[in-house]
Amino acid sequence: MTTPAGYANGHFEPSSESGLTPSFSLHVHDSYPLTQRVLFSTQLSSDTVDKSRSETMAEQQLNFPSLFQPAAERPGFFVPYRWWEDEATTVLWTFDVQDIGRVIRYGLFHDPNHPRSVLQSRNSSTIDDFLIALLEPEDIPFIVNLSHIQKVEEILRRFKTNKADPSPWAWFPAQSLSESDASSIARDIDSESHLLFKTISFEEWVRYSLGYTAPSVEWFLLQHTAFFIHLSSHLHAYPEEIDKYKNVEKHLRTRSPFAHRALVQCLFNIHEADQSDMTFMHGPAFEFIAGPIQKIFKDHPPSLTSILKMLSVLAVRFQRTYIHTSKMNWMHSFDIAVPFLEDVFGSISPADLARTLTTSDELDFGRLSRDEIVSEGPVLKHLIERWHALATAVWECCVALPDMSSYIQDCIQVLETLRNYNSSTALIKGLRDYRIAGLQSPDVNIALDIVFFEQSLSPSLSYLLDVSDNYAAYRRQMQESPGIPFLLPHVREFRRRGESALDELCQGLQVIG
Coil, helix or strand at residue 322: helix
Partners of 420 in the beta sheet? 484
Q: What is the pLDDT of residue 116?
A: 96
**3-class DSSP string for 140-154:** HHHHCCCCHHHHHHH
Helix (H) or strand (E) holding 199: none
Q: Taking a C-beta distance cutoff of 8 angstroms, is the pair 264, 249 a contact?
A: yes
pLDDT at 274: 61
**Exposed e or buried b per residue across 33-50, where buried means at least 16 C-beta atoms within 10 angstroms of its C-beta:** ebeebbbbbbeebeebee
Cα torsion 229, 235, 237, 241 to 10°: value is: 150
Neighbours of 184 (CB within 10 A): 13
How would you class 264 by CB atoms within 10 Å of its CB: exposed for 0-12, middle for 13-18, buried for 19 or more? buried
Residue 43 has a pLDDT of 39
Give the C-alpha separation, 346 to 338, whole Å: 12
> From CA 371, how far away is CA 3, in angstroms rounded?
63
Q: Which amino acid is at 23?
A: S
* Straight-line distance from the first to the last Cα atom of the chain, in angstroms, rounded to the nearest whole number: 66
- pLDDT computed for residue 457 by the predictor: 66
Strand partners, 484: 420
R_g over Cα of the chain: 29
Q: Exposed/middle/buried for 23, CB within 10 Å: 0-12, 13-18, 19+?
A: middle
Q: Which of 255, 253, 235 is nearest to 245 (CA)?
A: 235
Q: What does the alpha-carbon distance between residue 376 and residue 374 come to, in Å, rounded to a whole number?
A: 5
**What does DSSP assign to residue 62?**
P
β-sheet bridge partners, residue 451: 444
The DSSP H or E segment spanning 451 is strand 450-451
Angle between helices 124-134 and 148-159 (to 10 degrees): 40
From residue 235, alpha-carbon distances to 25, 172, 209, 241 in Å are 19, 12, 35, 6
d(CA 384, CA 362): 14
CA distances from 13 to 27, 48, 68 (A): 17, 18, 21
CB 88 within 8 A of CB 117: no
Vertex 300: Cα angle to 299 and 304 (nearest 5)? 135
The residues that bridge with 444 in the sheet, in sequence order, are 451
Sequence-separated (6 or more) residues with CB below 8 Å from residue 111 = none
The pLDDT value recorded for residue 159 is: 94
- Mind listing the domains of the chain with CATH numbers? 83-159 (no CATH), 339-510 (1.10.840.10)
What does each of the 513 residues of the chain score in pLDDT, given as a tens digit? 444 333 333 333 333 333 333 333 333 333 333 333 333 343 334 444 444 444 434 344 567 777 899 999 999 999 888 999 999 999 999 999 999 999 999 999 999 999 999 999 999 999 999 999 999 888 888 888 899 999 999 999 999 988 878 889 999 998 888 888 999 999 999 999 999 999 999 999 999 999 999 999 999 999 999 999 999 999 999 999 999 999 999 999 999 999 999 999 999 888 655 666 667 777 899 999 999 999 999 998 889 999 999 999 999 999 999 999 999 999 999 999 999 999 999 999 999 999 999 999 999 999 998 888 888 899 999 999 999 999 999 999 999 999 999 999 999 999 999 999 999 999 999 999 998 876 655 555 555 555 554 555 667 678 899 999 999 999 999 989 999 999 999 999 989 888 877 877 777 677 665
- Per-residue model confidence (pLDDT) at position 420: 96
